[in-house]
């Protein structure tokens, strides 16, 4: 079965090159599709060196992660799809293998790769919205039109598509996600956090048909934590 690796990126000039190098050297991807979603930094320049071996789709306007993933899926051809965020660091062949193996061996319909990120003790809210995933093309292709306007709510949408399917989570203990304040200037980082919170709440409302479900409550809690993190940053002493 052919594996397509799809990487949506927005202002990831610092990390995208190393991610592509790792996936290429791994040697198990039939194709790599990078969707440059309106980056305003030097991401496109960083991608230029890979144009002979990577399919790069570029949009001049940022349209959101749901849009980027949907276009990446449409442009790919693999029966198995691996989604990787463009801001991960510490990725290894082993991480890619443990994500791929359950789907390849038909033990799972979707694998979630759990990277290290912000948490509160044992409470790790980002596990459910990880961007590191492996899915079967046949399970997501009929829904790509629905993904276009989801933004960061795409992760919950994918979870909902697989709620009655076999899903396996695997730890990626040495993989980190860069925080937005590590990648962007303060105003841009603030705007990004607010956009993510908006998308998460919007997706929760779309899935809500009656009394709030536990999942919806977690989404609202997560949205508040996003805003809290941004506000805490401004309250730090200069």
- pLDDT tens profile 194-236: 566 665 655 555 555 555 566 556 666 666 566 566 556 545 5
What are the tens digits of pLDDT across the range 34-60? 999 999 999 999 999 998 899 999 999
Q: Which of 157, 178, 199 is the last residue of a domain?
A: 178
Mean pLDDT to the nearest integer, 165-175: 93
What is the pTM for the complete model shown?
Answer: 0.76
Cα(44)–Cα(11) distance, rounded to whole angstroms? 9
- Let me know whether 125 and 9 are in one domain: yes
- Let me know whether 166 and 210 are in one domain: no
Q: Which domain, by its residues, includes 228?
A: 181-235
Cα(150)–Cα(64) distance, rounded to whole angstroms? 8
By residue count, the chain amounts to 238
Q: What is the DSSP string of 110-163?
A: EEEEEEE---BTTB-GGGGG-S-EEEEHHHHGGGHHHHTT-GGGHHHHHHHHTT
Question: What pLDDT shows up at residue 151?
Answer: 76
Looking at the 3D structure of the chain, how many domains does it have?
2
Is the Cβ–Cβ distance between 56 and 47 less than 8 Å?
yes
Q: How confident is the model at residue 173 (pLDDT cuts 50, 70, 90)?
A: confident
Residue 130 has pLDDT above 70, yes or no: yes
- Let me know whether 171 and 225 are in one domain: no
The chain-wide mean pLDDT, for the chain, equals 82
Across the strands, what pairs with 89?
Answer: 176
- Let me know whether 145 and 206 are in one domain: no
- Let me know whether 131 and 63 are in one domain: yes
Q: What is the share, in percent, of the chain residues with pLDDT greater than 70?
A: 69
- Let me know whether 108 and 84 are in one domain: yes
Cα(225)–Cα(16) distance, rounded to whole angstroms? 27
Q: How confident is the model at residue 178 (pLDDT cuts 50, 70, 90)?
A: low
- Let me know whether 19 and 67 are in one domain: yes
- Let me know whether 123 and 230 are in one domain: no
Q: How confident is the model at residue 132 (pLDDT cuts 50, 70, 90)?
A: very high
Radius of gyration over every alpha carbon of the chain, rounded to an integer in angstroms: 17
Q: Which residues of 194-228 are buried (b: 16+ CB within 10 A; e: fewer)?
A: ebbbebbbbbbeebeeeeeeeebebbeebbebbee
Q: Which of 162, 178, 194 is the last residue of a domain?
A: 178
Question: What pLDDT shows up at residue 115?
Answer: 86
Question: What pLDDT shows up at residue 118?
Answer: 45
- Let me know whether 134 and 221 are in one domain: no
- Let me know whether 35 and 116 are in one domain: yes
Q: What is the CATH number of the domain that holds 21?
A: 3.90.550.10
């Amino acid at each position: 079965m052919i594996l397509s690796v799809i990487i949506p990126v927005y202002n990831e000039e610092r990390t995208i090159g190393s991610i592509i190098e790792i996936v290429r050297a791994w040697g198990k991807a039939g194709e790599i599709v990078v969707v440059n979603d309106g980056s305003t930094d030097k991401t496109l320049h960083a991608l230029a060196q890979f144009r002979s071996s990577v399919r790069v789709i570029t949009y001049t306007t940022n349209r959101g992660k749901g849009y980027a993933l949907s276009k990446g899926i449409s442009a790919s051809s693999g029966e198995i799809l691996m989604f990787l965020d463009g801001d991960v660091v510490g990725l290894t062949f082993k991480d890619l293998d443990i994500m791929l193996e359950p789907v390849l061996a038909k033990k799972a319909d979707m694998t979630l790769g759990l990277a290290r990120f912000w948490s509160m003790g044992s409470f790790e809210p980002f596990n459910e919205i990880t961007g590191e995933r492996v899915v079967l093309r046949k399970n997501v292709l009929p829904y790509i039109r629905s993904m276009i306007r989801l933004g960061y709510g795409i992760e919950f949408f994918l979870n909902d598509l697989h709620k009655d399917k076999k899903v396996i989570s695997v730890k990626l203990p040495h993989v980190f996600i860069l925080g937005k304040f590590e990648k962007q200037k303060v105003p841009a980082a603030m705007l990004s956090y607010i956009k993510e919170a908006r998308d998460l709440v919007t997706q929760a409302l779309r899935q809500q048909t009656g009394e709030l479900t536990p999942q919806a409550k977690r989404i609202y809690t997560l949205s508040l934590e996003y805003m809290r993190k941004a506000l805490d940053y401004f309250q730090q002493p200069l």
